[in-house]
Amino acid sequence: MLTIIENILDEKQVRDFRQKLEAAEWIDGADSAGTRSVKVKQNLQLPRQNPLSVELGNVILRKLGNDPLFISAALAEKIWPPIFNLYQDGGHYGTHSDAALMRLPEANMTIRSDLSATIFLSDPDEYDGGELVIEQQYGAQPVKLAAGEMVLYPSSSLHQVMPVTRGRRICAITWMQSAVADVSARELLFDLDQSIQALTPDRPHDDPEINRLIHVYHNLLRRWAAV
Ligand code: NI
């Protein structure tokens, strides 16, 4: 399942990000790819230790931590510091799967990547190509979102970024470890939570059926979560 979250960054934030990123010093993204991925990866990246990367990454992390749809869909336990990358002049990233275990030595942190996320920082009309194509059970789905929007997808999916044939595609990417590793269990919890959220405003406060659904939600979460 793909989850699209609108307005992770508002217009003003996107403008601020873009202004700062346009002036940044980008390096070859192949430096951070695995030995196999390096053959298919052709983009530019902001070094993780770059103070700008840390500053903007923290803005994103704060927004994620306050976004109800993200919280419900990801049930994130650990989130990788966001990475910024840039595709231009035919830059692309061929079909690959993301590493299952990712280690961040400076934070003494290891995460299992359950979910991957891309936050688009360029608008679709600024560049040609550059779709994020995610292979799913029912076929490949191209994703190209407005600046400030995010797609969340299972890290277990094969995916690629199509060549950017005009303009520049700037985005942020991150990964997270979910409290619920199993994709189908996580999706059931998400559906249940979304229905509870949708039903609640029309029901009286302390509605017994809503209370029972919340009870079921938390007991399923208790059964499936590993923290
Ligand atoms: Ni990837």
Enumerate residues with CB within 5 Å of ligand 1 (an ion).
Answer: 98
How many angstroms does the Cα of residue 16 sit away from the middle of ligand 1? 26
pLDDT exceeding 90 applies to what percent of the chain? 86
* pLDDT at 37 (0 to 100): 58
How many angstroms does the Cα of residue 162 sit away from the middle of ligand 1? 12
**pLDDT higher than 70, residue 153:** yes
How many angstroms does the Cα of residue 169 sit away from the middle of ligand 1? 15
**pLDDT higher than 70, residue 34:** no
Tens-place pLDDT, residues 164-205: 999 999 999 999 999 999 999 999 999 999 999 999 999 998
How many angstroms does the Cα of residue 191 sit away from the middle of ligand 1? 26
* pLDDT at 100 (0 to 100): 96
Name all domains of the chain by residue range, CATH numbers in brackets: 3-178 (2.60.120.620), 183-224 (4.10.860)
Q: Which residues contact 225 (CB under 8 A, 6 or more apart)?
A: 75, 179, 180
Average pLDDT over residues 3-26: 95
CA end-to-end span of the chain:
23
Instruction: Record the pTM.
Output: 0.92
How many angstroms does the Cα of residue 61 sit away from the middle of ligand 1? 19
Residue (of 179, 191, 36) closest to 114 by Cα position: 179
How many angstroms does the Cα of residue 118 sit away from the middle of ligand 1? 9
How many angstroms does the Cα of residue 117 sit away from the middle of ligand 1? 9
Which ranges constitute the DSSP H helices of 51-99? 51-65, 68-74
